[in-house]
Amino acid sequence: MKKITIFILIFCSYLVTGQTTSVLINNVQIFNGKDEKTIVGNVLIVDNLISKISTGPIYTDKSANTKIIDGKGKFLMPGLIDAHWHSIMTANTLEDLMTGEPGYAFIKSGNEASNTLLRGFTSVRDLGGPSFGLKKAIDEGIIKGPRIWPSGSIISQTSGHGDFRNINERPVSLDGHLHHSEIIGGATIADGKDAVLVAVRENLKKGASQIKLTAGGGVSSVFDPLDVSQFTEEELRAAVEAAEDWGTYVAVHAYTPRAVRKAITAGVKCIEHGHLLDDETLKLIGEKQIWLSMQPLDSTTRAGSNAEQKQKKYDVAAGTDRIYSSVKKYKLKLAWGTDLLFDPSANAKQTATIPAMSKWFTPFEVLKMITHDNGELLAFSGKRSPYRAGKLGVIEEGAYADMILIDGNPLKNLDLMGDPEKNFILIIKDGVLYKNAIN
């Protein structure tokens, strides 16, 4: 009687979801995200979690409607994680967002979310933008896309990296009006401790898993030079305290030693970028076990809309080699991300910088960074993490069934990661097959 009841429940689940309740992937070379040594074995997925991993045969109940896939000895690894992504801003140009119809921009973002998943990214940490609605649509299965850890609006001071107003627009504090970027949830201009507290709490209210502030000058912003520091220590500390009250952390956009050291003094636990840091500050980051979320920027190009922005891009990118070369010396907790934004044509190259990382790291170190290590950073959100039923960035029993199957071994040839359309033959997120080019 018990077996009959189980069968009925499984069958009904299949009718409702249209998905099999379990997937068995046989004969794959398994990279678990943590260990350089791989094993040849089989992986059983039940619902959205990894149920069993074995070097021997895995037997399943014939009534369980299991989809069986012959992995043909291919390379199975955890789904990729982009630790610095902008789900809305990367799908649109700045003009789209500032002067266009919001509905159009959000529809484009939904389409780009699907493309992101098909590039093998099963999770992203969104570091600024109105991604709450997109996340909800993905979680409810309305559209396809990666898991999203949203920050909500970018919190910026007046004249800061997140201030998208033109030179003639006054802030609300000076009897001006909310800017369009604030109305759509892309940014919040906050000056003073009280305003920062409100901005942080508003993002947390909407479901932010972490908080993002701009603590220094930026490349894409028009009015702030790279060398400037932004927000007072009191303002930064207020943001940290409000975030910690909710059990999560603050990440700050910052490049320079002064901006980063002020943020660290205020209690910030994650630095985004940091390409212009000196050895003393890098040592401090390592000693305090603060996360450094970096991007391997290319200094050979001076992309930008004007000469000043092109130079800022070059100056920042030129620091990439020195910072990556210091990672092991100072024992830095390093995350990897792309930070693509305002150029939708560039998104197809989201994995392109992965092979470039071989200049500083072994293939194993790179693969571990973009899976297990980034997964550890996602977990840093604690109870504010929107996905806590299983671990991410690893292939182990009880972890989320987020994984990709690769035609070739990236531990031996990291260049395979640069062409996901060709080389990623199986993409699974939350136990669901979104790409299957092996059968």
Distance CA 198, CA 173 (A): 14
CB distance 216 to 162 below 8 Å: no
Residue 110: strand, helix, or coil: helix
Strands (E), 325-422: 333-336, 403-406
Written as one string, the DSSP assignment of 143-208 is S---EEEE--SEEE-TTSTT----TTPPPGGGT----HHHHTTSEEE--SHHHHHHHHHHHHHHT-
Dist. CA 71–CA 93, nearest whole Å: 40
- pLDDT, one tens digit for every residue, the chain (439 residues): 444 443 444 444 444 344 558 999 999 999 999 999 999 999 999 999 999 999 999 998 776 789 999 999 999 999 999 999 999 999 999 999 999 999 999 999 999 999 999 999 999 999 999 999 999 999 999 999 999 999 999 999 999 999 888 888 888 888 888 998 999 999 999 999 999 999 999 999 999 999 999 999 988 787 888 899 999 999 999 999 999 999 999 999 999 999 999 999 999 999 999 999 999 999 999 999 999 999 998 766 545 567 777 888 888 888 899 999 999 999 999 999 999 999 999 999 999 999 999 999 999 999 999 999 999 999 999 999 999 999 999 999 999 999 999 999 999 999 999 999 999 999 999 999 999 999 6
Q: d(Cα 427, Cα 323) in Å, to the nearest integer?
A: 33
Run of H or E including 420: helix 420-423
Read off the pTM.
Answer: 0.93
282, 275, 370: which is closest to 320 by C-alpha? 275
